[in-house]
Amino acid sequence: MAQSAPPPPPPTADAVGAPPSVEEIQKAAQEQQIDPYNVSGARDENGNVKALDYEALRQRFNTPALTEEHLKRFEQVTGKPPHRLMRRKMFFSHRDFDKILDHYEKYGFFLLYTGRGPSSGSMHLGHSVPFMFTKELQDIFDVPLVIMLTDDEKFLYTRNKNNGKLTKGAALGDFIKYALENAKDIIALGFDVKKTFMYSDYEYMGGHFYQNVSEFESLLTNNQIRGALGFNESTNVGLNAYAAKQCVAAFASSYPTIFGCGDWRAPDYAEMRPRKQIAAIPTLIPCAIDQEPYFRLVRENCGRMEMPSPKAALVLSKFLTALQGPGGKMSASDPTSAIFMSDTPSQIKNKINKYAFSGGGATKEEHEQYGGNPDVDVAYTYLTYFLDDDEELAQIEANYRKGTLSTGELKKRCIEELQKFVGAFQERRAKVTDEVLRQFMTPRKLEFKGNPNAKFSMEDLAGKGETKAKDGEKTGPQGGRETSKSERKQAKIEAKKAEKLAEKLALREKQGQDQTQPPAQQLGSEA
């Protein structure tokens, strides 16, 4: 019944028992840090890690909460109940989710985009969360999906971490291999090949995608990237430049082929630049909130592109917590913090029993008398992600709080559910051949139907790269749907706002303010 993970050691004082100095207290008490490369809880004055404070984070990033209203609207537009991860607010925040629903209702489809940085050959349970959710969105909305495998990012990041030194398992070719292994893992989570294009950056980057990269690179300054992503002057050039790649991956115009249009490769000069009509297709990105800083950069600068894209919409999740408790996230670099998708049933059992932080009482008697705390209990938390039955979950929570369900019993239920999830995954994974992988990774026209009740049909993009209006609707110069006056006005306003923001940021840089301001204040408030 005792808690299985000790808290991190307090900072040392010179003499045993001596009170810590003011400097020591200040040093130990740290704010939480969350960006694409760091996720750590705040520390109190004794150096103890605190749980991640998602409400504070949401306010700092200035991303709205996902509310019951959104869930109702989701159900109204799709006719389907929201996934448990949304019902239970693991996906807790968003940007423009309502706009994407409005768009889907009217125009029938949008682009789904998510990704994975292949840092090792096997993904952990936490990585499966956004993909599980994205699969459900793909099934429900029946829209195209692109999955980016950032082998370049992870290579550059690892080299950066190792001060440029080549270390074992971290050569460029290793990350290409990891990307392919991870791609098979992702496929095994159940994506529909007809609607999914998955690519590794090293393989796909070129043509319209790379043109978008170059243009976006020309809009971003080093200081903007540093502010958003926590880089500094010692960060290697490649990692700075990588940012534009993850950003423009959110533009539909980076993938003309999936909409049945040509992507420029010599000698096909027909389409030199990404197409305006494709650029206008909006994108929804499901991910954990660590990736939000990238998409803040997208939203601030997309209106400045020669062929502007709408601001990317986001649905943002919390992190599946580390086995050790709610102050950090599951991380592939710490095997004791994570359950891997390749773990055997007995490994899962041992890890939960040995490492999963318990919110139970210190002794059996205490637990029965005072009850347990499911809010910090890792086994319970994992059940909230993987157990679909709302009633059973509510029962488990109530019994645990009362103390009638013991930590051992709770862990047992959690182990069963995780073994079931991982076991089913491994069965599907064994069937993902190289041939299947190649199908997913071949650029091709995707087949999707979108919203059957939408006013407009966009499936006629094939070959022409144009949207096509249904009977009675006005069409644009090349047969595509003509944007309305108010949409054009809105686009102009957005472009003006983006310009103004860019000017403001440039001015701040000149004044040397960027280095002293925390990233969220610098950027989040205006995205």
State the residues that interact with ligand TYM by CB under 6 A: 36, 113-117, 126-127, 129-130, 148, 150, 153, 246, 249, 285, 287-288, 290-291, 317, 319-320, 329-330
Nearer to ligand TYM, 279 or 330 (CB): 330
Q: Using omega within 30 degrees of 0 as the cis cutoff, is the peptide bond preceding 267 cis?
A: yes
Nearer to ligand TYM, 57 or 469 (CB): 57
In the complex, the smallest distance separating the C-beta of residue 445 from ligand TYM, rounded to whole angstroms, is 22
Nearer to ligand TYM, 198 or 280 (CB): 198
Nearer to ligand TYM, 246 or 467 (CB): 246
Residues 6+ apart with CB under 8 A from 64: 58, 93, 94, 95
Nearer to ligand TYM, 379 or 469 (CB): 379
| Closest listed residue to residue 107, CA positions, set 75, 131, 143, 136 | 143
The whole-angstrom distance between residue 299's C-alpha and the CA centroid of its chain comes to 15
In the complex, the smallest distance separating the C-beta of residue 133 from ligand TYM, rounded to whole angstroms, is 9
CA atoms within 13 A on the CB side of 419: 15
In the complex, the smallest distance separating the C-beta of residue 209 from ligand TYM, rounded to whole angstroms, is 13
**Bridge-partner residues for 315, per DSSP?**
94, 286
In the complex, the smallest distance separating the C-beta of residue 482 from ligand TYM, rounded to whole angstroms, is 31
Nearer to ligand TYM, 243 or 305 (CB): 243
What is the rounded CA–CA span in Å between residue 41 and residue 97? 27
What is the rounded CA–CA span in Å between residue 258 and residue 505? 35
CB-based contact 337:330 (threshold 8 Å): yes
In the complex, the smallest distance separating the C-beta of residue 118 from ligand TYM, rounded to whole angstroms, is 7
Nearer to ligand TYM, 48 or 120 (CB): 120
Nearer to ligand TYM, 243 or 498 (CB): 243
The three-class DSSP label of residue 176 is helix
Residues in the chain, overall count: 527
In the complex, the smallest distance separating the C-beta of residue 158 from ligand TYM, rounded to whole angstroms, is 12
Exposed / middle / buried, residue 326 (Cβ in 10 Å: 0-12, 13-18, 19+) = buried
In the complex, the smallest distance separating the C-beta of residue 269 from ligand TYM, rounded to whole angstroms, is 30
Exposed / middle / buried, residue 40 (Cβ in 10 Å: 0-12, 13-18, 19+) = middle
Strands 325-329 and 321-322: antiparallel
| Closest listed residue to residue 178, CA positions, set 251, 239, 112, 127 | 127
In the complex, the smallest distance separating the C-beta of residue 306 from ligand TYM, rounded to whole angstroms, is 23
Nearer to ligand TYM, 32 or 246 (CB): 246
Question: Could you give the strand order of the β-sheet that contains 325-329, starting from the edge strand earlier in sequence?
Answer: 33-35, 38-40, 325-329, 321-322
Cα angle 371, 375, 377; round to 5: 75
Within 10 A of 369 (CB to CB), how many other CB atoms are there? 10
In the complex, the smallest distance separating the C-beta of residue 293 from ligand TYM, rounded to whole angstroms, is 10
**In the complex, residue closest to ligand TYM by CB:** 117
